[in-house]
Amino acid sequence: MNQLLELIRKKSAAQVLREFAELQKLSWPLAATNYEGLKTVKEKQFQFDGFQVKVQFNPERMRSSAAKVDKQSIAERKCFLCIDNRPAEQDAIAFGNQFLILVNPFPIFNTHFTISCNSHIDQRFIPNVRSLLELARAMEGFTVFYNGPECGASAPDHLHFQAGENGFMPIGDEFDRLKSSARKLFSGSTADVWAFDNYLRKMISVETNSMEVALKIIGIYYTHFQAMQPEKMEPMMNALCTFSGGKWTIHLFPRKLHRPRQFFAEGNDQLLISPASVDFGGVFITPRKVDFDKITIKDIEDIYNQVSLNPDAFQELTEKIRQDLNRILI
């Protein structure tokens, strides 16, 4: 089994990973069929003030969007990320001793990976955030993302990240333009931190050239957010991370709800949408055409509003983060 860090000494990570994905399509009929199917996936866009949200109709994502993640359902099924239960055709590139990079056979991106832990341990953010940053640095050209155990992870019992090529989610193009009007929480020689109040979803963004500083900032965020949701196994959140030009860009999305009321509605009121990191990056995934056809701009606003932290709680959280950042990092 090849190691990614060895492979990228001779080629770029983007080239290595795309070649790996192409080889998997040649040897794995399910992956080949589903990636070919992306060519006919339908997409539409909704324009907001200075940014957009895309909606993708992708029927192969039904198993993820509608996944049962209650304790009983998890206990009754085999873990599809454990090596003994994965398809024989699914090959891997190792990342260190802890993770395997796998082609996701039910893609959203044209090149879509699941990065699975070798051990069957629970999905948790803080104990593994250094690995997220290391993966983003090694997989330059890709966005690495984390879905919390109550925020879109369809395998909350098995630690994993996902990754897709940069440029697919609108947030990648919008961030540099929108951060000028965001609230600045901190500015220093090694890092800048912003809070986004008017991006439909609530977002805290970090740019830094230091892994240790990134870990401190994320730790401050996590500590204060965990105190606001003490009953949770971990505070409800999603995260996106990229590395380019010697620095990390990290987007953190604090949440208050897993799925909106539309997910549980019946009849014409139902929209089978279960927001996760990609949705927070600006691409709503709809596995049913009826939902793709009928979703409106008001639905998108309402769903983000339901699942995102409310304004008062976000203001409280970001003020505590601002105080700590300016006390600890200066």
Q: How many other CB atoms are found less than 10 A from the CB of residue 29?
A: 11
Distances, alpha carbon 214 to alpha carbons 91, 93, 208, 248, 273, in Å: 32, 26, 6, 8, 32
Q: How many other CB atoms are found less than 10 A from the CB of residue 153?
A: 24
Residue 46 belongs to domain spanning: 4-328
Mean pLDDT computed over 97-105: 96
Closest CA to 153 of 145, 142, 164: 145
Q: Decide: 294 and 309 in contact? Cβ < 8 Å.
A: no
Q: Which domain CATH number covers 151?
A: 3.30.428.70
Residues linked to residue 3 through DSSP beta bridges, in sequence order:
94
Number of domains in the chain: 1
pTM: 0.95
Q: In whole angstroms, what is the distance from residue 112 CA to residue 162 CA?
A: 7
Confidence (pLDDT) at 98: 94
Give tens-digit pLDDT for 52-96. 999 999 887 765 554 455 676 666 788 999 999 999 999 999 999
Q: Decide: 196 and 318 in contact? Cβ < 8 Å.
A: no
Residues linked to residue 302 through DSSP beta bridges, in sequence order:
none
Give tens-digit pLDDT for 191-244. 999 999 999 999 999 999 999 999 999 999 999 999 999 999 999 999 999 999
Q: Tokens representing 246? A: 């010697």
Confidence (pLDDT) at 184: 97
CA dihedral 289, 167, 125, 20 (to 10 degrees): 90
Give tens-digit pLDDT for 35-49. 999 988 899 999 999
